[in-house]
Amino acid sequence: MKVAAIQMVSGISLDANLSEARRLLTLAAHAGAELAVLPEYFCFMGQKDEDKLVLAETPGLGTVQDFLSDTARDLKISIVGGTLPMATDDPAHAANASLVYGPRGEVTSRYDKIHLFRYDNGVERYDEAAVLRAGETPTVFDFSARNSQVWRIGQSVCYDLRFGELYRLLAADVLLVPAAFTHTTGRAHWEVLLRARAIENQAYVIASAQGGLHENGRRTWGHTMVIDPWGEIMGLHAEGPGVVMAEFDMVRLLAVRQQLPALQHRRL
CATH number at residue 261: 3.60.110.10
Residues of the chain with pLDDT under 70: none
20, 34, 40, 239: which one is catalytic?
A: 40
Report yes or no: 258 and 85 within 8 Å, Cβ to Cβ: no
pLDDT of residue 268: 85
239 belongs to the catalytic site? no
Expressed as residue numbers, the domain containing 86 is 2-265
- 20, 57, 128, 158: the catalytic one is 158
For the stretch 202-220, pLDDT in tens is 999 999 999 999 999 999 9
Structurally, the chain folds into a number of domains equal to 1
Q: Identify the burial level of 235 via C-beta atoms within 10 angstroms of its C-beta, where 0-12 means exposed, 13-18 middle and 19 or more buried.
A: middle
Distance between CA atoms of residues 109 and 157, nearest Å: 14
Backbone angles phi, psi at 124, to 5 degrees: -100, 135
- Model's pTM, two decimal places? 0.98
As a whole-number percent, the residues of the chain with pLDDT over 70 amount to: 100
Note if 113 is an active site residue.
yes
| Nearest Cα to Cα of residue 215 among 5, 6, 54, 16 | 16
Contact residues for 36 (Cβ-Cβ < 8 A; gap 6+): 3, 4, 5, 6, 25, 28, 29, 77, 78, 79, 80
Q: Which of 34, 43, 57, 113 is catalytic?
A: 113
Establish whether 48 is a catalytic residue: no
**pLDDT number for residue 123:** 87
Q: What is the Cα–Cα distance from 112 to 134, expressed in whole angstroms? A: 7
Three-state DSSP at 191 gives helix
Residue-level pLDDT at 260: 97
Cβ contact 67:42 at 8 Å: no
